[in-house]
Amino acid sequence: MHRKQLCNGLKVATKRWRSGLVSIALAGGLVGLLGGRVDASHPAQVRDGRLEMATGSELWGFAWPDWPSIGRDHLAVRRFLKPMTMRGLNTLGFALQQPGQTRPFFLPDGRLADEARAAHFTQLTGDLRDLYLATVVELFSADPSCWLESADAYRQAVREVTGLLPKAHAVILVLGDLAGPQRWPNACPIDLNDPEVLVALCKEIHAVRGNVLVGVPARFIANAPEGDLLYVARDARALAAWIDAVARGVDPGTVTKDAAPLKAERYLRWTGEQPDAWRRRLDRFATDVQEHRLARDMVATQPAEVDTHSPAALSDAERAEGFELLFDGRSLDGWTTLDDDPAGWSVQDGVIHCKGVQGPWLRTRRRFGNFVLRLDFKISPKGNSGVFIRAPLDARASQFGMEMQILGVTGSVNRRDVTGAIYGVYAPSADVARPPGSWNEAEITCRGGRVRIRLNGQLVQDFDMDQVDELKERLRCGVVGLQDHGDEVWFRNIRIKTLEDVCRP
């Protein structure tokens, strides 16, 4: 299971972050610290000159015109997002100030206008973080009806909203709006066309919280290449260097590694359409994102000498029943990490091996709704992994779909994080896992809301999702996934029988 890189006090905080979130490519997502592993208090880093939320991940998102309507209930947030995550979107954006809104977010002097709405903002950004999604927050509107009264008011506003962010978050604060005019209006009390003003506001943000990514609409910057939507930086120095390089026509990547562009084709802006028209455009965009992300091929992973006597084969009985192989024993054909780098995944002697690098999880390119899934697995001592079922293409697989936990310990019962558990929801009915390093056989059956899991021949899970509040809003269709939690784990003999086709959100 993913260890949360978010300190939210929940039991899942013992799991490692490895959702496969976003690359702002803005190759990634958001950044707190430089270095190898993602910092536990902030799920992002700068890696190889790219801002990243997780290794091998990319930012694909959309803006939502009415964020308060999403609701404050955690299940409502998940219900709203699951059709998008199913197709590979992993970022939600929204604007705090919009023309025509009945309640502004800021008062004219930059202070917060509504404590309840401010609390909702904090909760929503926390929920998105827990679901392994990034958030793009547009702070100001170019519309005169939304202007604050002075430059000091704008400085006050950025301090106020930064203070609302949860301690651990995945947020980009944008100095401006992404759907406004080409240039920030000169009559506004603050000049967001002035790089010095933008850098000064960035400093105001980091005076409150040092782990916030700051974004600037690309159209505010002279000579910005067509297709650049947003420039994001981890600090004021990097922002200033990036703006200066773009304006001079110099490759900014040679000047700083702590900033990056978000390309327009990766983020859908709301441009004032009516709700039905907007939803249709968003649906088309999500479909295009899914096709694009699934079209990416990983580099070859098979060893130099392929084992021609692989154990990946169907029995005569399984073939007659309608089973098919999900893993051919020779390659990762049919699987993807949504990146061209398989990270810790490889094929060795007819087995999928994860060497444990806390990299992206491995997922099928196909979705399944009702099915019988059979596979063998073994885990290293004290290791942690899992099998995702009905999982989204991106975002937090164990929260939008489900995870059968794999843990390299035995003798534990009544825990929702041991082998055979539905992670975070149900402990297995019995501890029948074999010792670490030994092969186990699992059979997972999903038919509608009914889920059954047999482990080493014994039934350990049997429940109806529709009767469980925590599960009834989960996806009924999704990919099969294997988790890289940072520990060695092996899988083989992966085969599936598709039951009646009901694969839909």
CA pseudo-torsion sign 206, 142, 172, 245: negative
- C-alpha torsion angle, residues 107, 109, 111, 113 (rounded to 10): -10
Cα of 63 vs its chain's centroid, Å = 15
Say which range, 24-33, 191-200, 266-275, 313-322, has the weakest mean pLDDT: 24-33
Mean pLDDT, the chain, whole residue set = 86
Res. 378: pLDDT tops 90: yes
- CB contact set of 100 (below 8 Å; sequence gap of 6+): 145
Q: How far is 400 from 40, CA to CA, in rounded Å? A: 22
Question: What contacts 24+ positions apart, CB below 8 Å, involve 164-167?
Answer: 164/112, 164/118, 164/121, 164/122, 164/125, 165/122, 165/125, 165/209, 165/212, 166/6, 166/122, 166/125, 166/126, 166/129, 167/7, 167/41
**Interatomic CA distance for residues 21 and 27, integer angstroms:** 10
pLDDT of residue 307: 52
Reply yes or no on whether the pLDDT at 3 is more than 90. Answer: no
Asked whether the beta carbons of 110 and 163 are under 8 A apart, the reply is: no
The pLDDT of residue 334 is above 90: yes
Residues 6 or more apart from 274 whose CB is under 8 A from it?
Answer: none
pLDDT in tens, 381-413: 999 999 999 999 999 999 999 999 999 988 777
Measured CA distances, 488 to 48, 288, 402, 437, 480 (Å) = 25, 34, 21, 10, 19
| Three-class DSSP category at 153 | helix
pLDDT, tens digit, 9 for 90 and up, residues 478-495: 999 999 999 999 999 999
Superfamily the domain 316-498 falls into? Exo-inulinase; domain 1 (2.60.120.560)
46-92 confidence digits (pLDDT tens): 444 444 544 446 789 999 999 999 988 888 999 999 999 999 999 99
Angle, vertex CA 223, rays to CA 98 and CA 228, nearest 5? 55
Cβ pair 5, 38 in contact under 8 A: yes
Whole-model pTM? 0.87
Return the structure tokens found at 244.
């200066």
